[in-house]
Every structure is written in C-alpha cells, then in structure tokens.
Amino acid sequence: MLTDTHAHLNSESFDGDRQEVIQRALDAGVTRIVNVGFNRETIPSSMELAESYDFIYTAVGWHPTDAKDMTPEDLEWIGRLCSHEKVVAIGEIGLDYHWDTSPKDVQARVFREQIRLARKLGKPIVIHNREAHQDILSILREEKAAEVGGIMHCFSGSWETARQCLDMNFYISFGGPITFKNAKQPKEVLAKVPLDRLLIETDAPYLTPHPYRGKRNETSYVRLIAQAAAEIKGISFEELAEMTTANAIRLLGLK
C-alpha cells in the first residue's frame, strides 16, 4: 500500500502514455495518488484526472512562479473547487526564489491569500519552498498556518527548519533526492523526522530517483523512494509503506 502524495500526471510529458503510467503505478502497489494543479492551465486537467480515477485525488492552488498572473477571481475559483470531494488540499503554494518569474512581494501576497483561504475552508496546504526557508517559516507563523497544517513538499531544508515545520503541524515529504548518493542533508533530516509525520512522493515527471535519474519520473517509482526511506529509517519496506499511507489518509482525508 503505497501513496504518492505529489504528482503531476496531467503534465503533457504523459500525453502519449498516461494510462500505461497509471497502470504501472497500480502494478507497483500504489493505492492512492494526489495529483497537483497549480495554475490556470493545470488545475482543470488535474480535476479531470481526479474525477476519472477512484484512487486519484487532487490539490489545487497557485504556484509561486505564476503568482503575478493570479487574479482575485482565480482565488475565488480555487475556493469553490475546494468543495469538490476529490480536492484534498490547497497547493502547491509558497515561495520560489530560484526562478525569477514573479516578484518576491507578489509571491508573498499570493501565498498569504491562499493560507487565509485554507484556514477559512479548513483545508491543509501543500508548500513549495525553493531557496526561501526563512521567509516561508515567517509567513506560515504570521498567517497561523498551524491551524490547518499540511505538507512540506519535497523537503530540502535543514533539520532545524524541519523541526519548526513539525511544530507548526506540518508533515515532511521526501522524493527522489533521498536516493541520490550525494544527498547527505535530506537523508539526515529524514532519519530524524518522526515516522507518524513522514510522507513520500515522486513529483513526477520531475526529480526522478536513482537509477532512472535524468529520465522522466513516474508514480511507480515511489516504490524506490519508499525503499530508500525504509533503509534510512532502519525499518521494513512494508512498515514504511503502511505508515506513510496512514499519514496521508489522516492528513488529507483520503478513502
């Protein structure tokens, strides 16, 4: 029983073989997938995917790199979609200081607006954080994000950052990088994260785990991430799979 808590199977990179990719995930023991729509183009296709498969859910939100494009009407739209039974979180939202596509002050405003919406609706949030650890933590605190909690998606920060996120009611999710030989910090952090607050994800088609690094990622590879996480934790693959799935069910209200 594996759960991929973050994928983009509606990406155009899957247009030629999406059904086969989903079947391979089922064959690999994946029982639940959370697909993420993050702007005007990807939210409708993520909704459609979730409506087409019992075991696929969706998170909807506005990605920080697209923050400059979000209108008040878009925020209202996200709010309306949250009443759909397959929408389990608002995300991915946050800050991205790596790609210079939206001004930092606009990113922060859009991030805050979506946290406020999540608190109003009682929905957990999925956080995208790239090179913005301190500002993310500050905004989460100021906006009382602990009231809803959520997921630190594809966590790349220090243990100190992870500890502060755990204190604010967040789960810590790890992806392909924990399978890389040189990924010392993510492995050290994963080792310390309590088992009942740990999640795994692929972020497919991105961040492909070893030995497929450099190729397109897909949800079936969450099995490789689970194996690596179990080894780091010193527990069986079965226990790791069971715990991370139970965590996802508890946080996101999955069936």
Total-model pTM: 0.97
One digit per residue, pLDDT tens: the chain, 255 residues? Answer: 999 999 999 999 999 999 999 999 999 999 999 999 999 999 999 999 999 999 999 999 999 999 999 999 999 999 999 999 999 999 999 999 999 899 999 999 999 999 999 999 999 999 999 999 999 999 999 999 999 999 999 999 999 999 999 999 999 999 999 999 999 999 999 999 999 999 999 999 999 999 999 999 999 999 999 999 999 999 999 999 999 999 999 999 999
7 CB-contact burial (10 Å; exposed 0-12 / middle 13-18 / buried 19+): buried
Count Cα atoms within 13 angstroms, Cβ side, for 250.
Answer: 14
Domain spans, the chain: 2-252
Give the ranges where 94-207 is alpha helix by DSSP (H). 104-121, 133-142, 159-167, 184-192
Rg (CA), the chain: 17
The type of residue at 230 is A
In this structure, the number of other CB atoms found within 10 A of the CB of residue 44 comes to 14
Task: Tell me the pairing of strands 150-152 and 170-174.
Answer: parallel
How much is the pLDDT for 100?
83
Alpha carbon distance 95, 77 (integer Å): 21
Residue 16, Cβ density class (10 Å: 0-12 exposed, 13-18 middle, ≥19 buried): exposed
Q: Which residues of 146-158 are buried (b: 16+ CB within 10 A; e: fewer)?
A: eebbbbbbbbbbe
> Which DSSP category does 54 fall into?
T
Residue with tokens 């397959």: 86
Q: Which fold has domain 2-252?
A: TIM Barrel (3.20.20)
Please report the sign of the dihedral spanned by the C-alpha atoms of residue 186, residue 197, residue 34, residue 44: negative
